[in-house]
A and B are shown apart, each in its own frame.
Chain A
Amino acid sequence: MIEMINEGKFGPSEAIILLAVSNIARVFLPYPRFLMELGGPAAWMAPVGGLVIALVGVYVMSLVLKNKPDKTIIEITEDAFGPVAGTAANLVTISFFLSVSMTFTREFSEALIVSALPETPISVISLTYLAVGILGAYLGIEAMARAARLTAPYVFGGIAVLLISLSPQWNIHNLFPLFGNGLYQVFGLGSFSTAALTEIILAAVLVQAMGGPDKFGMIGYKSMSIAFLLLSGLLAAIVLTLGRDYAMESTLPFYSVSRNIYLGIFFQRVEALFVIIWSIIGGIKIALTLYGAAVSLARTLKLPDYRPLIWPLGLIIFITSLLPPDMPSAVKLDSDFLRPFAMLPNYLLPLLIVAVYWLKRRSGRAGS
């Protein structure tokens, strides 16, 4: 039944780019401001600790997936916890994907209003993002992976241009005091916050399309390394350019730094390029999480196809994305709800599955 869901296949390079692009989406939102508040000028170090946690998460997830090489995390969860608890755990994963999609739809829409389209109704921008998301999810993960691979030079090239163009304005003293608000804030709270991501559980849902659990570890390690190092680099660029205080105040620090590019009379006012980059990444992120939710639900409900679920789930995302009354509420929802929530499917769920399998093996040995 499950095998009837045709996800398509794509290579490791597409998978790495797809997951890395999805991971860095948060840097374009108010999230860097939150990290600045947490870590001060050392906010750029927080992703280094976050990377270590994420790599451990990928390792644990790869152990889980290797237990059942022909299945995804959805079936494995059900297998480990049984039909009732397993379905409940899968619903947690599905609601996580929906929450990410909802929050990012709202935050990307708000970001576009604040930066470029102040007079456009939010519903129109949200619908446009969702249209991209629905189209991507409908075409499938293979199409999304190839689209991500095609846009990668533009995205990563754009980021490289940004860093190079800003370098004349960097003030190395902005990085000091070196450990910012303190080791606990930077490597404790900051690292756990950056480690709260979507891509480990997403990769575990997509594992069969990515080539199976054998490739999961390699893809996970590489995509996490690329994404976290980029995140760290961009945070460092924000601190170097804006300084701690302004970076902490700015609603969209990435947009603020891109507005600061000033290489003489000829090269300035290039932030529109970066609005396009973040719109591409926003579309990919929303499409990916919508796809993850639809495929996970289809697998949980043992449906032969996920596509009929895209429309109702898209509608749910659209409506819930408009529920926060204002932008600060949406940002607070991200930092206070979504970040802790991300720990459940990405880290706690695989650990629980490992524990359950271990207990089952132990009780099996005791029984024999």
Chain B
Amino acid sequence: MELEEDTLRGSVPGKTSLAYWFAPLFLCLVSATHLYQVKVRGQTPWIGGGFGMFASLEGPGSRLIEITLETTIGNIAVAPPQGPLDGLYTALRVLPSETNLRRYGEALMGLDWALETPRPAVSSLENLALPAAEKTETSPIVDPTPRLRAGATGDRSTGIEVRAVTLRLWQYRFELETRRVRMAPRLEVRVDGSAP
């Protein structure tokens, strides 16, 4: 079938006008920058304009953050609070730099923390096979570890004083032969509230 050549001249090589090459050049420039960001600064290949999605296990979800607050009642691990720090948390998992980790730590220090009601613990590795809903309902052991949660800003009357926060960024690796997933430490930062 012959095509309408005059309507499809976009195929003819030798286009010199910027209208033909501006967007493709832009794409190449951004993709090359993203490649540099991934290889030099540790950004995830998945997002950021480089088209590296569905190629690597190093997506933002493979990077987890362990947060330990140093408080007046001891060192307490807390889950990343949801809400106003979501943007920083995402940025940290996309580009896990020391700067981003420190920035997130400082933001955590700025929150007010309150004691949470004790909850049942995940007691053993056997529990790993249970559906998530059953883990907390069926486990007979109550976790004695004090838990903190981010409270409403400004309400310090019931809060816990946080002196410092230690952040550890973990990255999981998959071993194909054994089907084993291991968490490997990647970065650690301590933000001291008493430091000037």
Q: Is chain B found bound to chain A in the same assembly? A: no
Q: Which residues from chain A sit less than 8 Å from chain B, CB to CB?
A: none
